[in-house]
A and B are shown apart, each in its own frame.
Chain A
Amino acid sequence: MEVLLEQLERFAEVLAVSRTRHASSWGRVAVRRSLCWARYLRHVHGRFRLRGPVRAALEGRLRRLRLRPAPLGGDAAPAAPCPESGPPLSFEGLGCGEQLLALGLLENASLPSPALHELLQRLRPEGPAEPSEEGLGNRLAELARRRAASQLLRPLLGSGPAQPDPVLRRTEAELLLLRLRQEAEAEPGAEALLLDRLWQQLPQPRWLAVVAEALLLPPAPGPRGAACAPDEDDPGSPSDLGPAPAAPLLAWLLSRPAPLAALCRLLPAPLLASLAGRHADLAEACLDLLWDWAGHLHFDLTKGAWVGSDPEGLTWERLRDCFRCFCQAPAPLSLQARIALDSCRARDGGFEAPGLSVWTDLERELGVEEPPGEG
């Protein structure tokens, strides 16, 4: 067992190094050995992938590896995964370790020719490969075929370059949830760190779109029984992620004011309404936020409209659109929204005349005069 764990460590290092310029020192032997390890670990993955003590031990070791500073000499890589060297190795990653390694080496311009030659020979059927190694070339070819297929089908999906592509969005959302689950398994609390980093790194509209999509993904079809083996071909499929895959994401969102505010401000109103309809906590948080912001609006007599003091902040139009969509959504969101409107209006003084309370005007605009349940 200890030998296995050591090999696991070696391979994780090797995989990380394969994408960096440190690979320039590799020769044929190094490539051969690393492919050997990758193959061996793939068999290990195949044998132990149903949850059990061996798998737990391997995952534990991989977890500890991440916390250790990477042994890369001068550039002390941070404990957080560096994009350049790929994600930290997970147990599932062992299943396609060979491919990851091969791709890493292929994309690495600093890998010397003899080393790459060694790899390429092993992709051919007559290469100096042992019979059990045959799979790698085939699997890479399958990958190439799928890539070509997506390229072929892409124009059919009909979205232009300006419009966001819903299929891409969905794929990214699935990957996000998969990654969150992997992080959560590795270390509780790691998901929040990941999400913070992504929030900093990615352009906001993009990030928000993916988050929204992830929160809207349909839940798992049925209860996750013990007999249900994880889908090997598609580890991120909804059925494998468990009953509430987006829970960590939601928790993060609710605990971070900045992303939440951005969500409420930037997401298209109908989409926001779908999200709120799906997650009651989020609905409450959004309504609170909207109420808070509405307090910053004041009525400008010269323009005859409600304006905000902060040009970046909430506008009357945005407030109205949000509430309109909320009220048109199915119950319980519509009910929640109307109750909110009524109570806000009452809090302001229950005025009837326009221009005095933003809530009165809002209700009039939306045609929501009567409180629910009455005449």
Chain B
Amino acid sequence: MAQDTLDTSLNFEFWLNKAVAWGQATTLESQQDVCLHLPQLQKFLQQIYETLKHMDFHTAIQRFPLIGQLLGRLCWNPFVIGYDENQKILMWCLCCLYCSEPWNTIELEVNIWIRSLLCHLLSSSKLGLNEVGTVSQALGYTSPDYYPKLLKNMVLSLANELRVNHLNGFSIGKTIPDKQIKAMSLLCIPLLTLPDILPLLEALLTYQGDESKEILCSEFLEGVNESFLQKKIALSESAVLSLWLRHLPSLEKATLHLFENLISRHRNASPEEMECFIKDSLLPQAACHPSIFRIVDEIFWNALLETNGTSEVLTVIQVFTRCFVQAFQKNNDQLKFPLKSYFPYTSPSLIMVLLQNPKDLPRGLWCQHLNHISEILKKIVEDQSTQSCRSLFEHWFLFIHFGEWADIAAEELLMLRAESPATLLWLLAFYYNPHDQNQQRTQTMVDAAEAHGHIMKLFGRTPLSVKDLQDVTDTRHPRIQRLIRHLLLNFLLLSPDGYKIAQEFIITQTDEIASELLNLIARITYRWNRLGVETQRPAKLAKDLLQELQCYTMKSEFL
């Protein structure tokens, strides 16, 4: 507590000095400085109010002798008043200080001063502008009628000027110099979350100057991005696209924000919920622009490396790609970029074959398609001329985007529909172990085939025990554990005997593995729902299993 009071006192002096230096924020430097400090100022004012609200005038004056100066100066600074909630907090502070029954001259004068300050904040009659309000006053209107209209007309006029300016720039010559546009963006910074300003924000964001360097000030762009990410303003898609195209840090921040939402804050989000978050973020739509796509992809790539390719990240990339493809295909009216611009370092035939939506293929042809994918990938991987590490990982990364096919491969392997399981196994092995060299890969294939065979034998075995399952996943084949778990999980969901002991088995696993398996189940049910697969019963069972396991893990976390 003592620390708090000390902080506030020190800060008081700091902010009073600032307020004096800013004046009415008429110079560019003072304006920029105010904009930099606005969020902290608001926090400080909130602290002041928290202290003031228990006090009357006398106590307040003893605690903060210069409070009058501070409040007075801040009230005359339109940048301060225009920002977020500052005006509300300042009003509250003034209301606190008002004396209900003034006993002496000082209190009377304080009251008069407070009243005039409040009038200054709220009423039009003391605007000091040239003749403003003569007609409005004659009509009998006051501030509540006047200001919303005035502001709306100002915003429309400015937005219009910007649009015309842009068009004129080519022929007649601009009426607004670039410097003024920069000033405009600076002036909008305190006002970002005011809904009336939205048309002007959009006009600024979509404004293209002649020069290649950015005319809008970066604090403006950052501020807009931040407000958008916190859902405080509702920008149109094209405005957001313009923002991200012209300001790289904003795009990066937006992507990381999405990632954080999906991975940390909403850990247990199902892929359906993830889809909602992702679409809301407007990133898939923006990613139809290849330069944006590449930046977002880069961030995904880094996340993958940092987390060693955990299942959660793979799921995020998969769902994001699905949303992206949807947005891309919907984008009929606008310029469509060739697919190669999104994945420039990969083979176009691979892109085409991976892009195929399983929904559009009859189920019987899935295996054939998977074989096709496998062939192409194998050829690329084993081709000596493309055997650069970078190229290998690019192709693997591309495959990850469309990881649904790997999931389908696992399922098909379990359903024994494949003519040549080896091809599908190769695909799955590549999915989990892309970095195998030739000899290792041969060994991997042998191990994988063995494991697959072992699992297939489980179908006939009754009664099935957890030990049987553990036998499969023992550390005989350490390098393909994830592949084995994937196949095993499919078994558990598709076989009635396996389903009975699924929960029992999963809770014996480590936390890390358990969450990996949960993630897989979520992905599988998501796919089944989307593709309208006729495995009705397994789908429902899987969903129930998932719910029960999630409850269980939450309980155990709590304990």
Which A residues are closer than 8 A to B by beta carbons? 81, 83, 86-88, 96, 99-100, 103, 106-107, 109, 113-114, 116-118, 120-121, 123-127, 137-138, 140-141, 143-154, 156-157, 161, 165-168, 170-172, 174-176, 178-179, 198, 201-202, 206-207, 210, 233-234, 236
Bound-complex Cα distance A124 to B52 (A): 12
Bound-complex Cα distance A144 to B180 (A): 25
Interface centre among A144, A167, A168, A174 (most CB of B within 10 A): A144
What 4 new A-B contacts, CB under 8 Å, besides A107-B123, A153-B200, A175-B145?
A83-B140, A147-B124, A153-B187, A154-B154
Q: Out of B87, B108, B150, which one reaches A141, CB within 8 Å? A: B87
B11 at the interface (CB under 8 A from A): no
Distance in angstroms from B220 CB to nearest chain A CB is: 13
B405 at the interface (CB under 8 A from A): no
Does A157 contact B122, Cβ atoms closer than 8 Å? no
Interface string of B476-494 (1 = CB under 8 A from A): 0000000000000000000
Q: Out of A117, A125, A179, A198, which one reaches B99, CB within 8 Å? A: A117
Name the residue on A nearest B132 (C-beta): A168
Bound-complex Cα distance A299 to B300 (A): 86
Q: Out of A99, A148, A201, A236, which one reaches B81, CB within 8 Å? A: A148
Does B122 contact A179, Cβ atoms closer than 8 Å? no
B258 at the interface (CB under 8 A from A): no
Q: Out of A126, A161, A202, A234, which one reaches B134, CB within 8 Å? A: A202
Distance in angstroms from B24 CB to nearest chain A CB is: 10
Does A149 contact B136, Cβ atoms closer than 8 Å? no
Interface string of B61-98 (1 = CB under 8 A from A): 00000000000000000110110010110011011101
B306 at the interface (CB under 8 A from A): no
Known contacts A144-B91, A152-B79, A233-B148, A116 near B98 by CB under 8 Å: yes
Does A113 contact B111, Cβ atoms closer than 8 Å? yes
Known contacts A107-B125, A147-B121, A234-B152, A96 near B138 by CB under 8 Å: no
Q: Out of B85, B124, B140, which one reaches A86, CB within 8 Å? A: B140
Known contacts A103-B144, A107-B123, A179-B140, A145 near B135 by CB under 8 Å: no
The 4 closest A-B pairs by CB, nearest first: A87-B140, A141-B88, A117-B100, A148-B81
Interface centre among B91, B119, B197, B200 (most CB of A within 10 A): B91
Q: Which residues of A contact B147 (CB under 8 A)?
A: 143, 146-147, 150
Distance in angstroms from A175 CB to nearest chain B CB is: 5
Does A156 contact B184, Cβ atoms closer than 8 Å? yes
Distance in angstroms from B32 CB to nearest chain A CB is: 14
B1 at the interface (CB under 8 A from A): no
| Stretch among B188-196, B310-318, B333-341, B380-388 lining the A interface | B188-196
Bound-complex Cα distance A149 to B152 (A): 10
Q: Out of B78, B135, B139, B153, which one reaches A206, CB within 8 Å? A: B135
Known contacts A152-B191, A201-B138, A167 near B153 by CB under 8 Å: yes
Bound-complex Cα distance A177 to B258 (A): 48
Q: Which residues of A contact B152 (CB under 8 A)?
A: 234
Does A148 contact B88, Cβ atoms closer than 8 Å? no
Distance in angstroms from A44 CB to nearest chain B CB is: 18
B307 at the interface (CB under 8 A from A): no
Distance in angstroms from B58 CB to nearest chain A CB is: 15
A-B pairs with beta carbons under 8 Å apart, 30 shown: A83-B140, A100-B142, A103-B142, A113-B100, A113-B101, A120-B94, A123-B91, A124-B92, A127-B95, A137-B91, A141-B87, A144-B122, A145-B191, A146-B151, A146-B196, A147-B147, A148-B82, A149-B191, A149-B197, A151-B78, A152-B191, A153-B187, A153-B200, A154-B129, A171-B149, A171-B153, A175-B146, A179-B141, A202-B135, A202-B138
Q: Out of B53, B108, B140, B191, which one reaches A124, CB within 8 Å? A: B53
Interface size on B, residues (CB 8 A): 67
Interface of A is mostly: helix
B4 at the interface (CB under 8 A from A): no
Q: Out of B78, B85, B138, B140, which one reaches A148, CB within 8 Å? A: B78
Distance in angstroms from B154 CB to nearest chain A CB is: 5
Does A106 contact B122, Cβ atoms closer than 8 Å? yes
Q: Out of B87, B138, B150, which one reaches A198, CB within 8 Å? A: B138
Bound-complex Cα distance A121 to B538 (A): 63
Q: Which residues of A contact B140 (CB under 8 A)?
A: 81, 83, 86-88, 179
Q: Which residues of A contact B153 (CB under 8 A)?
A: 167, 170-171, 174
Bound-complex Cα distance A179 to B228 (A): 38
Distance in angstroms from A172 CB to nearest chain B CB is: 4
Q: Which residues of A contact B151 (CB under 8 A)?
A: 146, 149-150, 153
Q: Which residues of A contact B154 (CB under 8 A)?
A: 150, 153-154, 157, 167
Q: Which residues of A contact B87 (CB under 8 A)?
A: 141, 144-145, 148
Known contacts A154-B154, A234-B148, A106 near B115 by CB under 8 Å: yes
